[in-house]
Amino acid sequence: MNHSILDVNSEEFEALTRDLLAEGKIVRFRARGFSMRPFIRNGDLLEVQPIGDYQVKIGDIILFKSLNNGLLAHRIIKIKVVNDETMYLPQGDSNRHPDLLISSAQFLGIVVSCKRDQKNFDFTTRAQLVISRLWVLFSPLLKPLYFFLSGTKWFRGIRSN
């Protein structure tokens, strides 16, 4: 299989990604930023599939068009109906505050896997789906603990193994 590397600006990336996903193709790209730590790290290779008829659930990581920040891949933490329209509340796993509510019209695709070094993390497995939902449920307690521990020498030592 021939893999091409494209160097594009953010507007070109958004247009290309939108077109490829609309055609039913899978898109892979390097994550940039730190908002999805600890599950997605800066530089991880993300695989995004078209959403199609998939019903987005709490815990899913969605690639969407943010009104403020271009394209984002954040986790859905709440789903609610506003004026007869289903709205979704995304939030980066390490962000203190959620993003703005979004509609399904802003979705580009669903993040199904993450590759880091030689490890592949499949976000569609039953175990990963449970972990995602537990993260959403317990993140108010887990986030401060994770970031406290991540600053310790002990934690950095076990994370590097």
Angle 75-119-126 from CA coordinates, rounded to 5°:
50
81: in domain:
yes
> What's the pLDDT at 1?
55
1: in domain:
no
5: in domain:
no
Q: Residue 109: give the domain boundaries.
A: 10-159
> What's the pLDDT at 141?
80
User: pLDDT at residue 119 above 80?
Assistant: yes
Residue 139: band (very low, low, confident or very high) from pLDDT cuts 50, 70, 90:
confident
2: in domain:
no
37: in domain:
yes
118: in domain:
yes
Exposed/middle/buried for 102, CB within 10 Å: 0-12, 13-18, 19+? buried
Q: pTM of the full predicted structure? A: 0.84
User: pLDDT at residue 158 above 60?
Assistant: no
Report pLDDT digits (tens) over 45-92.
999 999 999 999 999 999 999 887 789 999 999 999 999 999 999 999
4: in domain:
no
Mean pLDDT estimate for the chain: 88
For residue 80, the domain's CATH number is 2.10.109.10
Please give the tally of structural domains in the chain.
Answer: 1
- Residues present in the chain in total: 161
